[in-house]
Structure formats: structure tokens, C-alpha cells
């Protein structure tokens, strides 16, 4: 063993330490401070296996002598873990049995080859072992286990050095999922390969698959034996940008959103191309290469759900995730099918007669008359059978928002509280000038000033003037005016959809809570330069105005729901992340330390986004059907990307400062001071942001001791440049993109991406059903405007305001469809991986494994602090009679709809 170690050291030394390169490295090393020297030693040790200072002249002479002796052969064993499917259909079972018998009869069906980190002087290529085969496939064919371990033995000699990669050729008929490989028997210890990949049969992918060890290498530090393999692997992942992608491919490329409509099915499903045009810019999506539609060459043909749409094979859901979605499919079928049939048989049943009808969706489910049950049994007998055997399938779970206080949603303080601790707590902003002013073109949309005047609000300012309230940071606003107004004529021309551009002014009370004091409802001018149709409502003093005020709040919530779903949730955490993920796979080797850092935060995003293009944001899809903007949903999202989105303000501190909710203050723990101290989203979010940032700072400092080391990292620079120049091509010329030139900017970029994929997405997603499942609290769609005395329907409003209010909300079919979708979106699956959770083998850098464990401890401490805050009676935005605690940022969660839990990535 000692002999093999000496020879390995000799070859490593000749490859990496000597002559001019050794002098340059020594000079550079001496210029570093002590902490950086230690890290430089560790990085160098990862490359060559020992410290430079250990190689004395005397020892070098001894090594040369040993090198002349005959190499010693020894056996290294690979322990290979393959994950099997938990459930197989008959076809899959037969195919696996055929593979097993083929392995026994023909033999050598899964072939492996070990690749060394050093160059073989005889061949000029990397050192390789002889090809060997996986043993035990036939013997374990009937083993009832999710994970099955096989072995393979390599015969190598002592000059081989350190393993750096392993190749696999699958000569079976079917793919298999390779979880990990451990190679034992080398002097340096067990070598770990975390694979987590599907290996296709060679009839589909004839090239051998390459898997690298867990050791991270910057491009310039890559051992010579692995450099060409590193380049070739990235070339394969990029593809050539041509042809239609097959489901077995592992190719990452970009395209525009030209697949949301389906013109072949009629003009009502024609949708414009989003992205690639100045008027409708958008981030790029993953390319599938499908052929164009028959009626429009510029539109890509669609694949309708549940038929799979292409994503790289390794981006597919794991089995536990698929099981969760399959269970959801049964619930969705029943929750949607029965109301649809009821409303089609009796149209008047689509409107709710009273709030008790909505309550019964949670208490009793959908109660059908016997005649209707018989009809359904005759037409679709399985529905009644399922209902009889599993009664709860037709009953919705009670949303959290009405569990503690059934009428909380009616209160003004709860309406205001949800702007700080609700589903969409990222739109509230401090009012810094009065009256608010629009940024829209006054030639088109009329005078920019708001219709809210001082006389509207002066009575609600606790004796302050408006100017005093502004100076004391007591006025806040939800402003949906500019994003909705350009679309209102088109929105309101659709059947059953009515909207305003709303502004809501809040006053910050002495108790630290907000109260709404004015709501502005705006419509576009009938002709240019004329005054807008605008209306201001203030807190009511009588019964009539109370109902008008409730209707105005409902329209604000509908505006808020649309912006939440289309902009803050979909655009900012799903769509804008996709180009960074595609670029990471194309430009960063799996060996790159930054890829290893980002890998858990990219999980499932591409799959989720592909499904979204099929059923959520597609023409006629769930978002168009359930939200007020209708067929203009994605166009509105595009306008927000054009006018509002800035990557440099996507991080939490920058966003809070941009909205005026905080000011920079280095004396505060997070470098800023919140102007509303009890702002649950912000206070909890800053705990997680700071923990992420601290870990990223440590990580970046380990691999990048200087700005030059960042500038010279070709893969890192290519990743960031491609993310912007190609992935965000429509905004590539914006001046606000951070420059990837130093540690500070790299830390900021990486922290922002991890934040968006984990905590930000969790805060915007997992409260959807708990807080929005009771639709009157937060209607995603409004069907009527607020009536004025001159309107024909004002009499109906006055005669029965309760019934009129219900008629403005979504009908039975729309409501139950929406509830089913957000129920699924709010559900954690059993395979969820939460912030602070990682397998210890995610990297071969032990220092970073320890650093991550420290990060995990900080996340746990943050969760304890959040729990403490929820019990603090002084924090009235998260504690009180009927007040829901704010748990959306609490990192841990069990499966299901829990209204808490921060997964590492966008997993739903």
C-alpha cells in the first residue's frame, strides 16, 4: 500500500508541481493571508493529493527510485446502488425480467470503466482501468427493495493514481436509475460518486455515461486526466439546438413562449408569442423542438396534459412526487367533474344563494338530490362508487383562514394584516408622496394624479396632517393601478369578468397594525385626455356603504390575487429562475463548486414549469379560467417583466428598501431597519436571508480568494453571461445587472437565486389554499363592478346586498376548480427536501460539509425564533384572537397542506 502511495505521489507531482508553474504557484501562495493560504493548501491538496511543501529534494529522489520498480496490481471494488421503482406495471415487470435473464445468459450487460485523474504517458489520454461488469443483476431480480446494491471489481496497478470518473455502458433493454457509486480499495480511501441519474440503454444513447467523483474542481484546477471529459460532458448537455427532443435526452437549450396557445383548435385559443419582442418580453423557457402548428408556423404544437412534455430525463419527478400528484388527480377529478355536471344540468345552481352554500363545501361536501345521483350513476357510475367508498373525496378541507374565526375575513384589520402576513406580502409599499401618481402615459390614460384627496383620509390619521403622516412613515399603499389599467378594456370586454385598477391607502396605528382608510377604483378613460372613471371609497358609516366597502375590498383582493399569481409567484420565482437553471447545466460542470452549491435549489423547477405551460398558464388553462385577467394573463405578466422586474432588486433587503418598507442601517442586525417592526414576512425572511448569505459568503471565500479568481473562471463567467444574454435576452441591455467581477457580487447573485428558489417561493406558494381556499376572503375573479346609484343593477344591490355580493364572486364551477388547483399547489410531497437538508456526500470538500452543517443549525435556530414570535402577544400581526400565526417561513414541514415549510427549490 505504501508503494502505491509513493508512485501516485510521484506522478501527481510531475503532472502539477514543477518548473515554471511551481514557481508561479509558490509566489501567488506567499501573497495570500494566513486564512487564504490554508484554503489554497486545501484546494491544492484536492488536486495533487499532498501539500507542496512536503516534496523535498531528498524525497523526490526516493520517489524516482521507487518509480523504477514494477507496479503492483490490486483490486478495487465499486459498490453500485440502483433505485428501483416502487410500483411497476406488467410491461415494466416483464421487461426487467428479460433484462435479468439476458444478463445471466449473455453476461456483461452493464459495463464500467474507471478513469484516473492523471494522464497516461503511453496514450496521452487519462489513465483507465480495464472494463468490467456489474455483478448480481440476475441474482437480485426478485429482491423486494427500493434500493438494490450491486458490485463490480476493477483490476488496477499502483501507478493508476486517484480515480476521478467512472463510465457506464448500459446494454440492457431498459433504463435504470443510478443513485450512487462508492469505489473502495484505493490508498486515498473510499471514493464517492453521487450520480442520481437515469442511464439509458446503449441502443438509445450509444455513448458511455460519465460520472465524476464528488470532489469539486474549478476549471483551472481540474486534473489533466479529467479536463477533456469535463468539456465533452458539457458539450453533450448543450446539444446542437436542432430537432425535436426525445424524452430520453439530457439536453438543455432555450426557446420563447410560443406554445401557450393552440390555434389549430380555433381562434379563441390563439395566443401571442411571449418573449423575443420588445412589446412582449419574457424570460426564455426550456426548448422542446416540437414542430409548428398547422395553422401558424410561428406557434409550436402543443402536448396536452397528461401526455408528458419534454424535459431532460433527470429533471423528472421522483416516484413519491408522482404518487402525491396521482392522489391529487383523483380529488381533482371528483371536485371538478361533479360541480361541472351540476351546473350544466341546472345553470342556476352555479350561483351561491348564501354563504352557507360555500361553508357546505367544507362541512358536508356537494350534496346532490337523489334524482341527480341516479343520473350521475347512470352516466358515470364510478363517481358514485368512489363517493360511497371514500366519502371525504367530495368534501374540501377547511382552510386555515376560517378555522379560528369564521368571520375574520370581513374585518378591516384582517384585510390589512394579510398585506403583511398573507399570501402576497410583497406588494405593500410605503407612501412617500401624496397623492400617488401614475407612471402611465397621460396622453393615453389621463391625468396621472390619484383621485384620493386629503379630505378623503384626513379624518383617519389620528390628528396628523397628511404631510406629518408621510414624514412619520405612517402611510402605506397597495398600488395595482398601473399594472391593470392598460388591460382593463380588454378584461372587462370578456364575459363574466370585471376589474378596476385599484389603489388602497393604509394608516399605521400606534399598535403597529395597519388599517385601510381609502380605496380608489379606476377605469380607463373613454377617450384620450378625458378624465378617468374613478371612484374613492372610505371606511363605512352606514349599512349601504358597508356593503360597497366590502365589494371594493373584494376588488382589491382580486387585483392582489392576479398580481400574486402572475407576477410575484409565477414570473419571479418560476419563470425568471428557469434561464439560470438551463445555463447552469449547459455551462457549469457537475464538478464545479458553484454547480454543487446550486444543485438542490434547481430540483423540479423545469418539470413544474413545463406542466405550468400545459395546464396553468396555457390558453384556456386554469389561470386564465380562474383569474380576472382571463386570456390576457400572460400578457400582463410580460408587462410586469418589462416594467417592474429587476434582478438586482430581487433579494430581500434590496426589495424591502425599494418598496420603502426599510431603510439602510448598519447598526441593525441585518443592515437595515424595518419601518413596520411587526412585518412577519420581512422579519422571518431576514433570518433565512442572513443564514443563506452567511453560508454563501463562506462558500465563495473558500474557492475564490480574489477578484481575479472569479474573472478567470471560464465556466462561471459563461454561466452568468448566458443566463443574461440568452436566458434573459429581452432585458440583457438593462444597466442594473450586477457585474460578476468580485466576491461581493458573486455572493449577492448566488444568495438571491437561492432565496428566490427556497424561501421566497415558499412564502408565496404554500399559503394559497390555507388563506385563499375560502374564496370570499380572496376572490381570484370578480364578475361585477361596484354599482353606482345610476347603474341599472343598483336596485338589485339595495334589495339584497348579500346575494349581490355572492353574485360578484366566482360561480360554483370556477370556485371549486380554483380551490382544487391551489390545494394541489399548497401540498408538500413526501420526498420534499427542506432548507438546511442535504446528504453529506453532496460534495467531497469536508470543510464545506461542516460549513453546511453550521448553516443547518442556523436555519433550525431561525425556526425556533419564528415560533417564539408567534406567541408574542405584542406582535399583533401574528398573534391574537382569531389571528393566524405566520408560519410560511418556518423551514420544516410534514407532507400535505401545512401552511409552512421551505423546500430547497421550486417543487410545485
Which residues carry out catalysis? Answer: 569, 574, 761, 765, 908
The dihedral through the CA atoms of 546, 552, 553, 558 has a sign that is positive
The dihedral through the CA atoms of 725, 726, 729, 731 has a sign that is negative
Neighbours of 742 (CB within 10 A): 17
Helices 543-563 and 801-808: angle between axes, nearest 10 degrees: 10
Q: What does R_g of the chain's alpha carbons equal in angstroms?
A: 31
Cβ pair 241, 249 in contact under 8 A: no
Neighbours of 215 (CB within 10 A): 21
The dihedral through the CA atoms of 62, 63, 64, 69 has a sign that is positive
> What whole-number distance in Å separates Cα of residue 740 and Cα of residue 720?
8
Cell triple for 767: 399559503
- Cβ-based burial of 126 (10 A; exposed 0-12, middle 13-18, buried ≥19): buried
Residue keyed to cell 391625468: 447
> What whole-number distance in Å separates Cα of residue 198 and Cα of residue 205?
11
Q: How far is CA 299 from the centre of its chain?
A: 26
Comparing CA positions, the residue from 684, 678, 704, 740 lying closest to residue 880 is 678
* Residues making up the chain, counted from first to last: 908
Cell triple for 733: 441591455
Beta-sheet pairing, 662-664 with 514-523: unpaired
- What is 778-798 written as a DSSP string? S-S---SPPP-TTSTTHHHHH
Residue keyed to cell 394559497: 768
> What whole-number distance in Å separates Cα of residue 728 and Cα of residue 721?
10
DSSP class of residue 274 equals B
How far the first Cα of the chain sits from its last, in Å, is: 51
Three-state SS annotation for 258-286: CCCCCHHHCHHHCCCCECCCCCCCCCCEE
Neighbours of 546 (CB within 10 A): 14
Residue keyed to cell 453521487: 194
| Strands of 705-805, DSSP E | none
Neighbours of 687 (CB within 10 A): 22
> What whole-number distance in Å separates Cα of residue 434 and Cα of residue 397?
44
> What whole-number distance in Å separates Cα of residue 905 and Cα of residue 889?
14
> What whole-number distance in Å separates Cα of residue 29 and Cα of residue 742?
19
Phi (first) and psi of residue 60, to 5 degrees: -60, -40
> What whole-number distance in Å separates Cα of residue 903 and Cα of residue 833?
5
Cell triple for 610: 413545463
Residue keyed to cell 439476458: 102
Distances (CA, A) of 340 to 306, 376, 709: 20, 12, 61
Cβ pair 137, 109 in contact under 8 A: yes
Is 122 in a helix, a strand, or coil?
coil
| Cis ω before 435 (30° cut-off from 0) | yes
- Residues in contact with 130: Cβ distance below 8 Å, sequence separation at least 6, in sequence order: 113, 154, 155
> What whole-number distance in Å separates Cα of residue 290 and Cα of residue 235?
22
> What whole-number distance in Å separates Cα of residue 466 and Cα of residue 474?
9
Is 215 in a helix, a strand, or coil?
coil
Amino acid at each position: 500500500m505504501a508503494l502505491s502511495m509513493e508512485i501516485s505521489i510521484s506522478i501527481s507531482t510531475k503532472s502539477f508541481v514543477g518548473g515554471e508553474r511551481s514557481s508561479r504557484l509558490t509566489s501567488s501562495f506567499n501573497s495570500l493571508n494566513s486564512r487564504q493560504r490554508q484554503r489554497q493548501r486545501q484546494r491544492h491538496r484536492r488536486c495533487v493529493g499532498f501539500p507542496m511543501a512536503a516534496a523535498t529534494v531528498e524525497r523526490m529522489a526516493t520517489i524516482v527510485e521507487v518509480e523504477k520498480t514494477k507496479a503492483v496490481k490490486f483490486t478495487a471494488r465499486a459498490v453500485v446502488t440502483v433505485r428501483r421503482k416502487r410500483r411497476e406495471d406488467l410491461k415494466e415487470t416483464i421487461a426487467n425480467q428479460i433484462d435479468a435473464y439476458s444478463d445471466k445468459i449473455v453476461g456483461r450487460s452493464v459495463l464500467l470503466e474507471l478513469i484516473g485523474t492523471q494522464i497516461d504517458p503511453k496514450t496521452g489520454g487519462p489513465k483507465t482501468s480495464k472494463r468490467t461488469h456489474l455483478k448480481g443483476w440476475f441474482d437480485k431480480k426478485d429482491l423486494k427493495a427500493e434500493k438494490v446494491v450491486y458490485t463490480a471489481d476493477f483490476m488496477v496497478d499502483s501507478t493508476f493514481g486517484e480515480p476521478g470518473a467512472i463510465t457506464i455502458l448500459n446494454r440492457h433493454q431498459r433504463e435504470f436509475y443510478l443513485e450512487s457509486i462508492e469505489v473502495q480499495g484505493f490508498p486515498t480511501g473510499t471514493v464517492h460518486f453521487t450520480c442520481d441519474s437515469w442511464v439509458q440503454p446503449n441502443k438509445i444513447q450509444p455513448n458511455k455515461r460519465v460520472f465524476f467523483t464528488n470532489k469539486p474542481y474549478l476549471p483551472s484546477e481540474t486534473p489533466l486526466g479529467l479536463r477533456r471529459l469535463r468539456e465533452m460532458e458539457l458539450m453533450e448537455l448543450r446539444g446542437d439546438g436542432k430537432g425535436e427532443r426525445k424524452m430520453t435526452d439530457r439536453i438543455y437549450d432555450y426557446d420563447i413562449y410560443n406554445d401557450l396557445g393552440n390555434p389549430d383548435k380555433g381562434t379563441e385559443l390563439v395566443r401571442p408569442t411571449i418573449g423575443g419582442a420588445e412589446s412582449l418580453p419574457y424570460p426564455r423557457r426550456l426548448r422542446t423542438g416540437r414542430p409548428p402548428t398547422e395553422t401558424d408556423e410561428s406557434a409550436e404544437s402543443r402536448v396536452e396534459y397528461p401526455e408528458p412534455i419534454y424535459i431532460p430525463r433527470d429533471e423528472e419527478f421522483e416516484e413519491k412526487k408522482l404518487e402525491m400528484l396521482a392522489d391529487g388527480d383523483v380529488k381533482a377529478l371528483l371536485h371538478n367533474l361533479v360541480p361541472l355536471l351540476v351546473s350544466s344540468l341546472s345553470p342556476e345552481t352555479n350561483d351561491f344563494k348564501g354563504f352557507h352554500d360555500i361553508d357546505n363545501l367544507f362541512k358536508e361536501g356537494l350534496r346532490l338530490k337523489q334524482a341527480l345521483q341516479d343520473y350521475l350513476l347512470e352516466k358515470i357510475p364510478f363517481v358514485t362508487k368512489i363517493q360511497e367508498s371514500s366519502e371525504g373525496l367530495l368534501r374540501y378541507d377547511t382552510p386555515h383562514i376560517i378555522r379560528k374565526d369564521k368571520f375574520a375575513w370581513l374585518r378591516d384589520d384582517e384585510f390589512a394584516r394579510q398585506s403583511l402576513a398573507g399570501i402576497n406580502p410583497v406588494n405593500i409599499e410605503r407612501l412617500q408622496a401624496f397623492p400617488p401618481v401614475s407612471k402611465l402615459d397621460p396622453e393615453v390614460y389621463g391625468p396621472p394624479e390619484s383621485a384620493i384627496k386629503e379630505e378623503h383620509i384626513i379624518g383617519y390619521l389620528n390628528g396628523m396632517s397628511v404631510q406629518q403622516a408621510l414624514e412619520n412613515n405612517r402611510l402605506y399603499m397597495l398600488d395595482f393601478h398601473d399594472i391593470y389599467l392598460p388591460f382593463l378594456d380588454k378584461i372587462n370586454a370578456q364575459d363574466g369578468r370585471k376589474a378596476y385598477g385599484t389603489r388602497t391607502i393604509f394608516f399605521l396605528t400606534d399598535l403597529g397594525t395597519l388599517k385601510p382608510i381609502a380605496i380608489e377604483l379606476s377605469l380607463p378613460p373613454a377617450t384620450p385626455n378625458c378624465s378617468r372613471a374613478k371612484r374613492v371609497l372610505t371606511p363605512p358609516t352606514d349599512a349601504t356603504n358597508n356593503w360597497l366597502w366590502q365589494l371594493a375590498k373584494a376588488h382589491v383582493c382580486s387585483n392582489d390575487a392576479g398580481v400574486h399569481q402572475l407576477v410575484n409567484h409565477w414570473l419571479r420565482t418560476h419563470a425568471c429562475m428557469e434561464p439560470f437553471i438551463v445555463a447552469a447545466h449547459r455551462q457549469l460542470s457537475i464538478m464545479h463548486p458553484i454547480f454543487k452549491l446550486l444543485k438542490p435549489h434547481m430540483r423540479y423547477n423545469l418539470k413544474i414549469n413545463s406542466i405550468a405551460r400545459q395546464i396553468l398558464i396555457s390558453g384556456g388553462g386554469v389561470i386564465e379560467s380562474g383569474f380576472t385577467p382571463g386570456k390576457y394573463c400572460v400578457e400582463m405578466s410580460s408587462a410586469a417583466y418589462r416594467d417592474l422586474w429587476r434582478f438586482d432588486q430581487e433579494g430581500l433587503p434590496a426589495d424591502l428598501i425599494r418598496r420603502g418598507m426599510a431603510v439602510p442601517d448598519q447598526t441593525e442586525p441585518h443592515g437595515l431597519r424595518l419601518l413596520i417592526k411587526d412585518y412577519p414576512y420581512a422579519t422571518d425572511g431576514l433570518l433565512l436571508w442572513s443564514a443563506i448569505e452567511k453560508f454563501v459568503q463562506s462558500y465563495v471565500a473558500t474557492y475564490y480568494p480574489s477578484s481575479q479568481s472569479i474573472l478567470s473562471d471560464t465556466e462561471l463567467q459563461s454561466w452568468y453571461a448566458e443566463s443574461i444574454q440568452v436566458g434573459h435576452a429581452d432585458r440583457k441591455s438593462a444597466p442594473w445587472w450586477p457585474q460578476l467581477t468580485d466576491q461581493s457580487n458573486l455572493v449577492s447573485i448566488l444568495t438571491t437565486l437561492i432565496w428566490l428558489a427556497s424561501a421566497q417561493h415558499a412564502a408565496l406558494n404554500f399559503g394559497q389554499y390555507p388563506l385563499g381556499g375560502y374564496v370570499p376572503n380572496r376572490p381570484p375573479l370578480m364578475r361585477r363592478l361596484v354599482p353606482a346609484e345610476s347603474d341599472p343593477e343598483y336596485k338589485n344591490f339595495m334589495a339584497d346586498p348579500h346575494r349581490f355580493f355572492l353574485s360578484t364572486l366566482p360561480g360554483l364551477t370556477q370556485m371549486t376548480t380554483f380551490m382544487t388547483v391551489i390545494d394541489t399547489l399548497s401540498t408538500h410531497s413526501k420526498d420534499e427536501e427542506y432548507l438546511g437538508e442535504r446528504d453529506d456526500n453532496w460534495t467531497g470538500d469536508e470543510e464545506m460539509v461542516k460549513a453546511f452543517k453550521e448553516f443547518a443549525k442556523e436555519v433550525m435556530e431561525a425556526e425556533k425564533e419564528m415560533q417564539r414570535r408567534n406567541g408574542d402577544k405584542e406582535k399583533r400581526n401574528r398573534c391574537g384572537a382569531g389571528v393566524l400565526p405566520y408560519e410560511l417561513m418556518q423551514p420544516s414541514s410534514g407532507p400535505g397542506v401545512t401552511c409552512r415549510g421551505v423546500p430547497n427549490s421550486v417543487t410545485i
